Structure formats: C-alpha cells, structure tokens
Structure 1
Amino acid sequence: MNHGGHLGNDAVLSLVHEARVRLFARHGWTELDVRGPGILMVDAAVVYRAEGAWGMTLRVDVAVADLGSRGCDLVYRLSDAASGKEIARAKTGIVFFDYAARRVVHVPEAFREVFGPP
C-alpha cells in the first residue's frame, strides 16, 4: 500500500513479475533461460482503473502483444478476484538476452511457437 492507502506502483510491478515468472514456469522456462536466452525488462507502465484496497485478492491475467524479432510486450490485467472489477493494467517490455555474450538476441523459437501467430 502506498501513503494514500492504495495499491502502489511498486506492488503492481511485483505482482506482474510474479505472474510473468509463473507464466514462464508453465512452459518450463525461467527468466534466465527461455530455451537458451533469458529476458531483460526494458520498460514498464501501470494504469489504474479503480482503487485497490488492503486485503483484496487480485487476479492477474497475462497476454503477449507486439511480438517482434527480439522482444515483445507482456500486458497484464489486475482485477478483484471477488467482483471481477478491473483494478489496473500494466505492460512490461521485454527483450531476449544472451547473458554469456551480453547482447540482445532473437526471440527463441520455443517462445514464438507458443505466443506467435498461428
């Protein structure tokens, strides 16, 4: 909670990080190994739609958008699990990164197979 008693930006980014980790784990990946390269978060944005309150259970839905040659956006919808009311939306831009070579690389084929166009 922030000073105003509302869901803070730092908490939203922590929640979407956890959602991203779980999404990757569902496919057998980690943020450091998506069938080879890892990821780097290069930007983030949070937009509030309603007030988030202490004790509220949130549901976080995740989707992939703007899949390019070296990265994509992950978009998140945070809603009150009890009512379904949308609380916030967030976006994180990621690129794929070869940590050994210290450079941005192409999207792994395994990621593209799961999240690319049919």
Structure 2
Amino acid sequence: MARVQIELPGSWLFRTRMDVRVTDVNYGGHLGNDRVLGLAHEARVRWLASCGLSEKDVGGVGLIMADAALVFRGEAFLGDELEVAVGAIEVRRSSFDLVYLLTRPADAVEIALVKTGMVCFDYSARKVSRLPQGLLRCLGSDA
C-alpha cells in the first residue's frame, strides 16, 4: 500500500504549543485524526495572527484550503502538551502549501505531520487571486 509522503520545509516559520483536550481524544483513547487537522488549523490561525493577518484577510483576499494530507508518527493522549511547527513549501502565484509538525516536547516524540494546500481567494469576485505582498513576506518568500 502506498504511503503519503510530505516534504519538510527548509525552515519553520512559526511554533506554538497547545494541549490535547478531552474533545480531541477518540474512542481509541488517543488524539483523533480529525482533531489533528483541527490543531493544524489553530496553528495556522495563530501564525497568521502573528503576521497581522487572518484567514479572511491576508491582504485584501482570503484563504481556502484546497487539500490536506496527514501522516501519523506517534500517539498523543489527554493532557499532552504538543508543539506545532508551521512551515511553507511550494509557494506559487496564487497558492502555497503549509506543513505542520506536531511533536510532544516532553519526550521529543513526533506525533504527526500535516500538509494543507492553501489558495488565495477573492470572495467578493468569487475567484482565485494572487498572493498579496504581506502574505508573501509572512511566508518568507519573494515569489
């Protein structure tokens, strides 16, 4: 069976920490796959806020998630503190990929690797848009 491969960025743009909550744990007693995507979303929102941006406004346009991939590398449990590192790859004219590495700092165990394909979207015109300069700076890119 083929496995998902996620390319790591050359460097991380942002790091944040969050705890695994009771609502993040599934019936198997560990962090659920759907909640990993939610933690990546929270990290993305925090990263954008650190740049003075939001998903609705990254410089006159918003963002849409076009795709997502997730690879588990370990388990996380209720009460675990996780660090989420956010990095960018494949920055293009109107889209980019964000990569998130979730680790448990207490023992340096990697929990998951996530990739989300993000597209700039002009909601008023209902069409894909170029990446604004402020977002490019936040991505560490001159593309």
Q: Shared topology, TM-score over 0.5? A: yes
1:92 correspondence with 2:94: no
The match for 1:40 is: 64
Please give the secondary structure, in 2, of the residue aligned with 1:45: strand
Q: Distance in 2 between matches of 1:28 and 1:114?
A: 9
Q: Which sits farther off after the overlay, 94-103 or 79-88? A: 79-88
Aligned AA (2:62): G
Find the partner of 1:82 among 98, 103, 106. 106
Q: Distance in 1 between matches of 2:35 and 2:102?
A: 12
Q: TM-score, normalised by structure 2?
A: 0.78
Find the partner of 2:132 among 105, 108, 112. 108
**Misfit runs of 4+, over 6 Å:** none
After TM superposition, give the deviation of residue 55 of structure 1 in Å: 1.5
The match for 2:48 is: 24
After TM superposition, give the deviation of residue 112 of structure 1 in Å: 1.4
The match for 1:58 is: 82
Find the partner of 2:39 among 5, 8, 15. 15
- In the comparison of the two structures, how many residue pairs are matched? 118
Q: TM-score, normalised by structure 1?
A: 0.94
1:72 correspondence with 2:71: no
The match for 2:6 is: none
Aligned-residue Cα RMSD (Å) equals 1.3
Q: Distance in 1 between matches of 2:61 and 2:134?
A: 11
Question: Mind listing any 5+ residue stretches in structure 2 that lack a counterpart?
Answer: 1-24
Question: Mind listing any 5+ residue stretches in structure 1 that lack a counterpart?
Answer: none
Q: Distance in 2 between matches of 1:89 and 1:117?
A: 26
Q: Distance in 1 between matches of 2:138 and 2:79?
A: 34
The match for 1:4 is: 28
After TM superposition, give the deviation of residue 63 of structure 1 in Å: 0.3
After TM superposition, give the deviation of residue 81 of structure 1 in Å: 2.4
After TM superposition, give the deviation of residue 3 of structure 1 in Å: 2.1
